[in-house]
Every structure is written in C-alpha cells, then in structure tokens.
Amino acid sequence: MRRLACAFALFFCSAPCSAADRGLAATLQRLEPETRFHQVCDIETMKRIQAERGAIRPDRMVIDAIRPASEAGDTLSGDGGAIRSGGKWYRLAFSCRASTDRMRVLSLSYRIGGAIPEKDWERYGLWR
C-alpha cells in the first residue's frame, strides 16, 4: 500500500501545482493515518531536497529502506531511509513533525548520507 501511495505522490508532485494540491489531498485522505503520515513526510522531504537544486535531485524515496522509521506522537524520524538521484541510492536520516490529521508537515530536518552500494540494493528493496 505504501509503494502505491508513493507512486501517487510522485505523480502529483510532477503535476501543475493547484491540480497537484487538490489531487494529492484527496489521495492522502483515503489513506490510513500511519501510511498518510509516511507519505506526507516523504513528499515534503523530496520537495525540499529538489528545491535546494544541489547535486542530489531525488526521483524516489523509501523512508524505511534500511531500518524502520519510528513514531513518537506527531513526529516520524529515522536514519534508515534512502533517496535515489541520478540512478544511485543514498542514505537518508530525517525527523518530520506533522499535524495531528497527518495532512501537513509542521517541521522537517534531514541529512543525506553516503551512497548505498549497488550490491546492497536488493537486500534493502531498492531498484534501478
């Protein structure tokens, strides 16, 4: 279910802004709260990294590739995420605080780590 929701999120992130906002909100509302929490944090993290226009230009993200993220109240955090850019996967650590309805990110911090060796991709459920 999370991978399907991620596909929706990626589609809406590339659509025109007003259509994306309405469509994404409707899609997110249909998800169970925990999945919605993950997706909202996924989407916002990718948007912010893309906005930086640095060397990392993500096209995919797996919030719990290496290790599950942990929830504490309205905060989702972890150091076992992965983000793909230029055909390579990189480690990702993050902390994301969302609204109680899980529809908005209130605060976000992240750190992009080193590249994940291709030999480890299958083990972590990553793909080309």
The answer on pLDDT for 13 being more than 60 is no
Cα–Cα nearest to 49, from 13, 77, 79: 13
CA 8 to chain centre: 12
Residue span of the structural domain in which 9 resides: 2-124
CA–CA gap between residue 58 and residue 126 (Å, rounded): 14
The three-class DSSP label of residue 111 is: strand
pLDDT digits (tens, 9 = 90+) for 85-106: 999 999 999 999 999 999 999 9
Whole-model pTM?
0.80
Whether 22 has a pLDDT exceeding 70, the answer reads yes
Confidence label for 20 from pLDDT (cuts 50, 70 and 90)? low
Count Cβ atoms below 10 Å from residue 31 Cβ, excluding itself: 19
Task: State pLDDT tens for residues 26-83.
Answer: 999 999 999 999 999 999 999 999 999 888 999 999 999 999 999 999 999 999 999 9
In the chain, the number of structural domains is: 1
